[in-house]
Amino acid sequence: MGWIKDVVEKYIKKYKTNCPFELAKLLNIQVIFWELPDEVDGMYYYTKRNKFIFINNKLAEYKQRFVCAHELGHSDMHTKISTPFMRSSTWFSVDKIEIEANIFAAELLISDESLRECENLTTEQIAALHKVPTELVELKRKGLL
């Protein structure tokens, strides 16, 4: 899914940031921190040409950053589909749009160059360094193989 990498690189080059919160603001997507049910990390919502990302305010900051990146993927690739991000099912989902949103987040939050520089580190160490879930590092590594 190299086309997703191309989309992410276009955003990073144009807006000079890989911060999902900054990108959301620049793309006129309102990010709202909300008390969501524990099983929902976040969701993307589209209505009347307005885009919203809801993030569970009970999550750790690093996880909120990942959820924002994931939901940004939905806002770009699945614009008119409102999507809840369920913690328990998304990592192992076979649902095409969830896989694409995870790839988008991995490409946004972990650069190829950074991952190559960390090739001698464990997945857990790389995740801690980039402040992302370990599953995202594993997904990114698969993309570089």
Strand 83-86 versus strand 40-47 pairing type: antiparallel
Map tokens 């995870």 to a residue.
102
Task: Identify the pLDDT of residue 70.
Answer: 94
Low-confidence winner among 24-33, 49-58, 78-87 (lowest mean pLDDT): 78-87
In the chain the domains, ranked by start, together with CATH numbers, are 2-139 (1.10.10.2910)
Q: What is the mean pLDDT of residues 74-100?
A: 70
Q: What is the pLDDT of residues 122-132, one digit of tens each?
A: 999 999 999 99
Residue 143, pLDDT above cutoff 90: no
- Under 8 Å CB-to-CB from 43, ≥6 apart: which residues? 36, 53, 54, 71, 82, 83, 84, 85
Closest CA to 20 of 68, 79, 83: 68
Determine the Cα–Cα distance for residues 15 and 83; give it in Å rounded to an integer: 25
Task: Identify the pLDDT of residue 81.
Answer: 74
Binned at pLDDT 50, 70 and 90, residue 89 comes out as: very low
Q: What is the mean pLDDT of residues 32-45?
A: 93
- Under 8 Å CB-to-CB from 86, ≥6 apart: which residues? 39, 40, 41
Task: Identify the pLDDT of residue 84.
Answer: 61
Sheet of 40-47, strand order: 29-34, 50-56, 40-47, 83-86
pTM recorded for the entire structure: 0.88
Amino acid letter, residue 121: L
Q: What is the mean pLDDT of residues 24-53?
A: 94
Q: What is the mean pLDDT of residues 2-11?
A: 94
Rounded mean pLDDT of the chain?
A: 89
